[in-house]
Structure 1
Amino acid sequence: MKKIKINRWLFVLLMPVFFFACNNKKIQPQVKAALYTCPMPADSFFSDKPGKCPKCGMELIKVNDTVAQANHENAALSKEEVTGYTCPMHPQIHSDTAGTCSICGMQLEKIKSATEPNAVSMEALLKPANEQVVASVPMVHMVDREENIEMEAYGFITYDTRQAGVIAANVAGRIEKLYVSYRFQHIDKGQKIMDIYSPELGTAQQNLLFLLKNDPANTVLINAAKQKLLLLGMGNQQLNQVMRLAKPAFTITVYSNYSGHIHESSSDAKMITASTSAMKDAALVTEELPLKEGMYVQKGQSLFSVFNPTKAWAVINIFAGQAAMVKLGDKVRITPETAPQKDFRAAISYIEPFYRAGSKTLSARVYFDNAALKIPIGSQVKAAIFAGNRTASWLPEEAVLSLGLDKVVFVRSGESFAARKIATGIINKHLIQVLSGLQENEAVAANAQYLVDSESFIKTN
C-alpha cells in the first residue's frame, strides 16, 4: 500500500516536466527541406533530393523557398478547372452561362482546362473518315466585304505584228547582189536589200524604148509600158534613168519599205512571235539567212519579213481563276525584269479568245510605244492588273480544297468537320470568292489540307 502511494506521488511530480517538454518542442522552428529543380524551365520538375531530371537528364539545382513557392502556385493555377463559356471563333467573348456569340451568332462552348481532353461521342468517332473528320483546328468564317482587285501576272515583250512588213520579189530572176547577211539585222526604210537579174524586166524595158524611138506620139502605149515597169518593181528614179540613157537595165534593185529587224520569210521560219525561247539561243541571232547570191526567186515570192522593235506589245498570261476579272481597258503596270526602272502604265488592248496549246493561261495583249523605252524584245515582265473593286463573300484560299472541277470546304458540324462542296468564283490576294454552298454563320477549317486523308477520297453532300 505504501509502494502504490509513492508511485502516485512520483507521477504527480513528473507530469509538469512532461508537458513543458512537449510545449517546448512545438515552439521550435521547423527546418524546411531543401528543394531542387531542373534548370530547364520547360520541364518544371521539382524534388526534395538532389539528382537528375527524369525528363531531360540534367542535374537538378537547388532553389530558394520563394522561387519554389511561386512555381508551386503556378502549377496549382494551371491545374485549376476553368469555368465559363466562350465563342470558338471569337475567344474574347466570355459568358457565365450558355448562349450564342454576340458577334457571329455561334453557340458558345464551355471553357475547358488545357489538360482536359475533348469529349467526342462514339457516334462521331464511328463516322467514315471521308465524310466527317474529328479534329481540333483553327476555324474561319466567310466574310462579305469589298476588295480592291489587283492581280499579279507574268509575260514577255514581243513584236507588234500589226507593224510587220514583207519584202517580196515582183519579178522572177537570179539574185545578183545581197545587201543583208544575218537574222535580226537592223535595216532602215529605203535601204537596198538585193539586186535581181530578170530577163522579163529587160524585155519590158526594150518595149518601152522601142515605143519611145519609133512611135513617140503614142502616149497610150508608152504610159502602159511605164506602168508595167513600175508594177515589176522598178522605181521612178530607175525608170527615168532608163529613158534618159535609152539603155535597158537588166538588174533591178529591191528596196525596203520598212524599218526594223529583218527575218527570213518562209514556212519554217523561227520567228519570235509567241515564245521567247529563241532569244536565248545566240546562234539564232547571228545565223546567216537562207537566201544567197546566185539563187533564183519566183515572181511574188516573199523574201523577208521586217519587224519594228519600236512598236511592241506585252503578252500577259492570266490564270483561269483570274480570267473572269480581266476586261478590255483595265489599267496595267508593266515592270520589265531586265530594267525595273523602266516600268510604265498602259491598258489591256486585246484578250485572246482561246487557250494556247499546252498552256492553262489566257493571253492578254498590252500595246505600247517602245521607241523611248527601248526594252529588248523577249524580255520577261511582271504585270499588276487593276480590275477595280468588287463586293463578294470571301474565304481564305487555304480553307478551300480543290478536287479538280469541285471545290470543298470542311464545315464544323457538332463535334466534327463535314466536307461540303461549294461554288467559287475569282481568286484575289489569297482570297477566294464563294458563290454558293455556305452560310455566313457557318465555321470552316482554316486550312482544309490538314483534314484530308491521303489514302481516301472525299465524299461531299
Structure 2
Amino acid sequence: MKKNIIYILLALVGGLLVGYLIFGTATEGSVSEKDISELSDSHDHEGETVAQMWTCSMHPQIMQPEPGDCPICGMDLIPAESTSDGLAANEFTMTENAMALANIQTTVVGSANISENGTMSLSGKILENEEANAIQTSYFDGRIERLNMNYKGQEVNKGQLLATIYAPKLVAAQQELITAASLKESQPALYKAVRNKLKLWKLSEKQINAIETSGVVRENFPIYATVSGTVSEVLSAEGDYVKQGQPILKMTNLNTVWATFDVYENQISEISKGQEVIVTTNAYPNKEFTATISFINPVLDTQTRTVKVRATLKNTEGVFKPGMFVTGTIEGLSDTSGSSQITVPASAVLWTGERSLVYVKTAAEKPVFEMREVTLGTKSGDNYTITDGLVPGDEIVTNGTFTVDAAAQLQGKKSMMNPSENEDEIEDEVEMEMELSESVQQQLKGGLPNYFAMKNAFVESDSKKVSQLASEMSSKLATIKETNLGAMEQKHIAKSKEILKMISESDDLEDQRNHFVGLNQTIIPLFKNMENNSETIFIQKCPMANSNKGASWLSTEEEIRNPYYGDAMMTCGSVIDSIE
C-alpha cells in the first residue's frame, strides 16, 4: 500500500515537472505577435534581399527573387550584385583629395572652323537691339485704371493710348489751372507756372487748353506711347498703384536686331570691327543677309573661353525673331588649313606610338574622366591643333595628365597602356546634344521608311533586299549638306553615309549585319535629337549581338524582332528607350 502511494506521488511530481517544462517555460519566454512584428521590422533584411535577387548576365534589367531561366534568352540566372558605380564602361573617377594633391587642372576647348577657301563659320543667335529699347513710364502718381497693352508681342505706334491712370495730384493741378486761368490777366506768371507744371507731367497743349476751356476737372488721364515698337515686357498691371517715373511697359524696336556670335579664344586674331558677315538662318535657308561687325566684347568668358561678337541687321520685314539661331560666315581669312582647329596645350596630350591621347572630363560637377584618342594638327608654340577627336565645349585635363592616366590604369579602365579594341566606336546609348536644322531633320526623316524596311529585311535575312534599301536610304541622306552643321553632327552624318554605302555594296548577310551595328551607333543619336516626330520610335537592344558587346536598332513596334539574328533568336532583346 505504501509502495503504491510512493509511486503515485512520484508520478504526480514527474507530471508537474514535465508540465512546468512544457508550459511554464513557454509562458515565461513567450513572444507576442506584436513583439515578433517589431523584431521583424527592426531586422535589416537588405543584405538578404540582395542575395535573393537573381539577374541575367545578358539582360541585366531582369530581376527575379529566385533562380531560374531568363525569360528573354533562356540563360541561367545569376545572383545580382548589390553595388554599382553608375559609370560608363570606359569612365573612371578620382577623389577630390587626389585631384588637389596632383594639381589636376581642366580647360574647355573651342573650335576655329576655318575651311580650305579661307572662310570661318560662327554660331550665334538673334537678340533685341538694346539701343532701340524704350521704357514707358508713368509721369505722375496714381492708380492704373485701364492697361491697353497687357501682353508681350503687341505692336505699338507712337501716340497710341497705352494706359489710363487716376491721379489725385493731377486732379488738384487741374483745379489750379482753372483758377489761374481766371487770373491770367492780373497774374500771368502764376498762370504760366501752372501750365508748365502740367506740361512736365506730359500733358499736351491740346489737353491743357481743353481743360482750361471746359472748366471741367478730369479724374482719369491717358498715357500715350512716345515711340513705336513691340512690347517686350509688361511691368505693371491694372489696379496697380504707380509712382512718378515707375516703368509700365518695356518696348523694343525690331526694325534692327543684333546677331551675336561666340568666337573662341584662338579665333580672336581673325576678327575685327568692320568685317562683313554673311548671316543665314534655319527659317530662311536659301537667303543670305549681310551685316558688319560693330562690337567685340573686350572681356573673355572664362567658362566657355569665348568672346561675344555682335553685328547689326536690318529687320524692316520682320524676318529675324529674337531667339533665332543663326550661322555667320566670314570670308577672306588667311588660314587655309582646311581643318576644324581646336587648340589644346601640349601638356594635355599623351603619345603612345602612333596614337595621341587626351583625358576628357565627362561630368561637369564630378571628377569623372574618360580617355579619348585625337588626331594632331600643327604645333604653334606650346599648343597643338586637334583636327579630330574633340568637339567645342569638351573639357579636357591640361595639367596632371599622367596622374589621371595612372588612375585609369589602376582601375582597369582604358588608358595609355591599356587601349580598348573598339576605341573609335560611338556609343549609341550616350546622350548627345546636337543642333539639327529643320531642313536637315526633314531630310533625315525622309530616310526613315527605308531604314525600317531595311531593318525588316534583316529580320527576314534577305541580303539582296537589304542592299537595295541601304542604297535608297543612302540616296536620301546624300542631299544633306554637312557644311552648315557642327563637327559632331558632320561626323555622324558622314559616317552614316559611308556605312550605308558599304551595306549596299555587300551581298554577304553577316557582313551587312556587322555594318548595321555601326550604322545604328551613328544614326540613333541623330534621330534622338529630332523634333515633331509623327510616331513613337522604340530604341531596342540585343546584348548578345556584336560578339556579346550589345547592339541597338530602331523600330516602330514595341515587339522585339531581332535584325541581327532573325529566326535564330527572333525575340532576343528589349526596349531600352523611345523617341516620342
TM-score normalised by L of structure 2: 0.41
Code of the aligned partner of 2:173: A
2:507 corresponds to: none
CA displacement at 1:265 relative to structure 2: 5.6
Q: Report matched runs for 1:23-42 at 5 Å.
A: none
1:351 corresponds to: 296
Contact 1:331 1:387 survives alignment (8 Å): no
Task: From the CA coordinates, give the structure whose radius of gyration is larger.
Answer: 1
Contact 2:229 2:254 survives alignment (8 Å): yes
Q: Tell me, what secondary structure is at the counterpart of 2:139?
A: coil
Q: Report matched runs for 1:111-122 at 5 Å.
A: none
Q: Report matched runs for 1:22-101 at 5 Å.
A: none
2:196 corresponds to: 227
Q: Report matched runs for 1:236-247 at 5 Å.
A: 236-247=205-216
Cα distance in structure 2, aligned partners of 1:335 and 1:447: 26
Q: Report matched runs for 1:309-328 at 5 Å.
A: 309-328=254-273
Contact 1:170 1:300 survives alignment (8 Å): yes
In the alignment, does 2:289 pair up with 1:381? no
In structure 2, the CA distance between the partners of 1:387 and 1:228, relative to structure 1 (3 Å rule), is farther
Code of the aligned partner of 1:231: L
Code of the aligned partner of 1:258: V
CA displacement at 1:206 relative to structure 2: 1.3
Cα distance in structure 1, aligned partners of 2:347 and 2:163: 61
Contact 1:410 1:448 survives alignment (8 Å): no
Cα distance in structure 2, aligned partners of 1:383 and 1:456: 39
Contact 2:183 2:191 survives alignment (8 Å): no
Contact 1:152 1:384 survives alignment (8 Å): yes
Which structure: greater helix fraction? 2
Q: Tell me, what secondary structure is at the counterpart of 1:342?
A: strand
List alignment gaps of at least 5 residues for structure 2: 1-114, 357-374, 391-404, 418-580
Cα distance in structure 2, aligned partners of 1:445 and 1:357: 21
Contact 2:177 2:191 survives alignment (8 Å): yes
Code of the aligned partner of 1:259: S
In structure 2, the CA distance between the partners of 1:377 and 1:447, relative to structure 1 (3 Å rule), is closer
2:85 corresponds to: none
In the alignment, does 2:237 pair up with 1:291? yes
2:368 corresponds to: none
In structure 2, the CA distance between the partners of 1:408 and 1:240, relative to structure 1 (3 Å rule), is same
The superposition leaves residues 117-138 of structure 1 with CA deviations (integer Å, 9 ceiling, x where unpaired) of xxxxxxxxxxxxxxxxxxxxxx
In structure 2, the CA distance between the partners of 1:253 and 1:357, relative to structure 1 (3 Å rule), is farther
Cα distance in structure 1, aligned partners of 2:338 and 2:376: 6
In structure 2, the CA distance between the partners of 1:160 and 1:432, relative to structure 1 (3 Å rule), is farther
1:114 corresponds to: none
CA displacement at 1:390 relative to structure 2: 5.2
In the alignment, does 2:120 pair up with 1:151? yes
In the alignment, does 2:174 pair up with 1:205? yes
Code of the aligned partner of 1:183: K
Q: Report matched runs for 1:358-397 at 5 Å.
A: 359-372=304-317, 374-386=319-331, 388-389=333-334
Cα distance in structure 1, aligned partners of 2:263 and 2:310: 11
Contact 1:409 1:448 survives alignment (8 Å): no
CA displacement at 1:373 relative to structure 2: 5.5
In the alignment, does 2:255 pair up with 1:306? no
Q: Tell me, what secondary structure is at the counterpart of 2:162?
A: strand
In structure 2, the CA distance between the partners of 1:432 and 1:334, relative to structure 1 (3 Å rule), is farther
Contact 1:179 1:192 survives alignment (8 Å): yes
TM-score normalised by L of structure 1: 0.50
The superposition leaves residues 165-219 of structure 1 with CA deviations (integer Å, 9 ceiling, x where unpaired) of 1100111111122212212211111110011111111111111211111343422
Alignment match of 2:131 (pick from 157, 162, 176): 162
Q: CA RMSD in A?
A: 3.8
Contact 2:150 2:234 survives alignment (8 Å): no
Cα distance in structure 1, aligned partners of 2:386 and 2:262: 32
Contact 2:376 2:386 survives alignment (8 Å): no
In the alignment, does 2:154 pair up with 1:176? no
Code of the aligned partner of 1:171: F
In structure 2, the CA distance between the partners of 1:166 and 1:314, relative to structure 1 (3 Å rule), is same
Contact 2:151 2:233 survives alignment (8 Å): no
Cα distance in structure 1, aligned partners of 2:144 and 2:382: 72
The superposition leaves residues 265-285 of structure 1 with CA deviations (integer Å, 9 ceiling, x where unpaired) of 65xxxxxxxxxxxxxxxxxxx
The superposition leaves residues 337-374 of structure 1 with CA deviations (integer Å, 9 ceiling, x where unpaired) of 11123321111111122245854422111102100352
1:336 corresponds to: 281
Contact 2:259 2:311 survives alignment (8 Å): yes
The superposition leaves residues 411-453 of structure 1 with CA deviations (integer Å, 9 ceiling, x where unpaired) of 9xxxx7799xxxxxxxxxx996643479xxxxx999899xx99
Count of residues paired in the alignment: 266
Higher relative contact order (CA 8 A, sep 6+): 1
CA displacement at 1:163 relative to structure 2: 0.4
Code of the aligned partner of 2:211: V
CA displacement at 1:154 relative to structure 2: 1.0
Cα distance in structure 2, aligned partners of 1:313 and 1:446: 32
The superposition leaves residues 85-128 of structure 1 with CA deviations (integer Å, 9 ceiling, x where unpaired) of xxxxxxxxxxxxxxxxxxxxxxxxxxxxxxxxxxxxxxxxxxxx
Cα distance in structure 2, aligned partners of 1:353 and 1:362: 8
Cα distance in structure 2, aligned partners of 1:446 and 1:319: 16
2:233 corresponds to: 264
Contact 1:316 1:363 survives alignment (8 Å): yes
Q: Tell me, what secondary structure is at the counterpart of 1:195?
A: strand
